[in-house]
Amino acid sequence: MAARFLCRNFYSRSFLGIRGLPNYCLSCCVNTLLQTLSATWELVELLDRWDTAHLKGNDGCNVPLELKKFLVAMQSAEHVSHRDFLHCLDQNGVQLHIQHDADEVFLFILNLIQKQTDDKILAEQIQTLYKISVETHVQCLQCDSIQTKENYLLTLPLHVKEDHTSLEQCLTSFFEEHELRGINCCFCVQCAVKTPSKQGVQLLSLPPILCIQLKRYRNNGRFTQKLGYEVTFPETFDLSTTVPHAFSKDFNQQPCKYTLYAVVVHSGSAGFGHYTAYVRHRDTQSWYFADDSHTHQVSWNKVQTSYGGEHRHTAYMLMYRRTQEDNKHKTEIKCNEGTPK
């Protein structure tokens, strides 16, 4: 989906390292994603380790290189310019003067990091930040044989129902088994024909950063409709208690607690609107609202207005971080493993 959007410009302001980004050639979508990437300090630290001295810095075609430059400036400089990054995206296919879908651009950036980072170990570590390993199984309803396939996702796409619902209910629906009949029947190797079956997906592993996409767009024949229905979401939740049936028998990662740190918000219709973001400051844990150049501190109650329903601006992407307790636990394990006995 691509459409032209109206976007607002304000004087640049800075709040404890959270800086506004001027709208440049209808860049509100990318501006919003850059705010969330800047708030993902794990990504910032990984890119900071990347030795780029041997790379040409003036060709403007390497997306991870330009992203690294921007993130370093975002963390330290008084004046931040993201024009080089925007032009770099433009040369790689994310055109200027057009408003793109935030989830598509997010996945596009992650894909280019994989392709254009010459340090392949580092590139894999960055992908691992977001990598959700899943097992899809299809069970034939005639012979009960089961076919399984392992795959991975970088964002978790959850359908929005035509009613008020919650993130927990969306997750439950995503991991429920669904019957496939009629034209949706699958080929069964044992029966050697297409048969009715039931399909499900289960988790094999969870990432440090859990990115969730609320699928608010639906094709209705000739046009795309935006679903503005209310979807509530918590600041913190535990997947192991929220959707206990979502885990494969091979899953052995505990605990599974996550804390929200960024929300990508869309205002308007499917073909005409504006992107903004709520981001959480790493040190103060305070919430900030970023609308292009304009940023200011807000309360959690304000973030909740992006649930949808009666409000015109709706959450589209949710960024959750595994809680500090989990990260501390992993660090302690690594330290213990490296301690001579």
| Predicted confidence (pLDDT) per residue in 283-305, tens digit | 899 999 999 999 999 999 999 99
0.95 exceeded by pTM: no
Counting Cβ atoms within 10 Å, is residue 43 exposed (0-12), middle (13-18) or buried (19+)?
buried
Fold of 155-174+208-327: Cathepsin B; Chain A (3.90.70)
Is pLDDT at 265 greater than 80 in this prediction? yes
**Average pLDDT over all residues of the chain:** 87
Question: Does 14 score more than 50 pLDDT?
Answer: no
pLDDT at 339 exceeding the cut of 60: no
- How high is the pLDDT of residue 143? 92
What pLDDT is recorded for position 224? 81
What would the mean pLDDT of 20-43 be, rounded to a whole number?
96
Residue 150 pLDDT more than 80? yes
Domain 16-130, second-level architecture: Alpha-Beta Complex (3.90)
pLDDT the model gives residue 79? 74
Read off the pLDDT of each residue in 112-116 and give the average, rounded to a whole number.
Answer: 96
Token pair in block for residue 66 = 């330009």
- The pLDDT value given to residue 76: 80
pLDDT 10s digits, 54-91: 887 556 899 999 999 999 999 886 678 999 999 999 99
C-alpha pair distances (Å), 227 with each of 15, 276, 304, 312: 33, 18, 17, 11
Average pLDDT over residues 317-338: 60
Residue ranges, CATH 3.90.70.10, the chain = 16-130, 155-174+208-327
Mean pLDDT of 199-214: 96
User: Rounded to an integer, what distance in angstroms lies between the CA atom of residue 316 and that of residue 320?
Assistant: 13
pLDDT > 70 fraction of the chain, expressed in percent and rounded: 88
- Phi–psi pair at 290, nearest 5 degrees: -120, 115
- Say whether 300 sits in a helix, a strand or coil: helix
